[in-house]
Amino acid sequence: MDTKERREQLLQLLKQSQVPLTGTALANKLGVSRQVIVGDIAILRAAGVNVYATPLGYVIPVLQSTAVTTHFACRHGRDRMGEELAIIIDNGGKVLNVIVDHPVYGEIKASLMLSSRRELADFLRDSANSGAEPLSVITGGVHLHMVEASSEVILQKIEQELRTAGILVE
């Protein structure tokens, strides 16, 4: 298979998947190295394909046409990261990303794409095992999450629960 065919197959695998696919899994499926997949993803992005690299793997998000989104400004330490994300997920939200405003580099954004307790558990485990600090450490715990939900009512419920937990920045 040539490069063009491989990239077309890669794109189809990503479009058909309901869950994120790791670079290793894609490499095994297509018979190439993980680094080749990383390069192919970069080429697909340059061509305008909306591919997210999440902690769980690569994904092409399928946004529901009725979905609504908002940003929640939050503040907490690493010890409350799981609680915050669980509040959002348990109330019907999908955490699309985390954003911090770095004093030198400006906005730094990382895709999360978390919508279930299992994805959250995997994310928290990987975060703990990596030893890396969350992005919010550079802003004293202050960060934004873009959250998607099926209705404004769900977003309002999430906002109230974050407020009650003392996580929402007012």
Residues annotated as binding site?
A: 76, 84, 143, 145
Q: Which CA distances in Å does 58 have to 19, 37, 68, 90?
A: 9, 10, 23, 23
Q: How far apart are CA 163 and CA 87, in angstroms?
A: 11
Return phi, psi of residue 50, to 5°.
Answer: -85, 80
Q: Which CA distances in Å does 47 have to 40, 50, 119?
A: 11, 9, 29
Structure tokens at 24: 């290793």
Binding-site residues for Ni(2+) sit at 76, 84, 143, 145
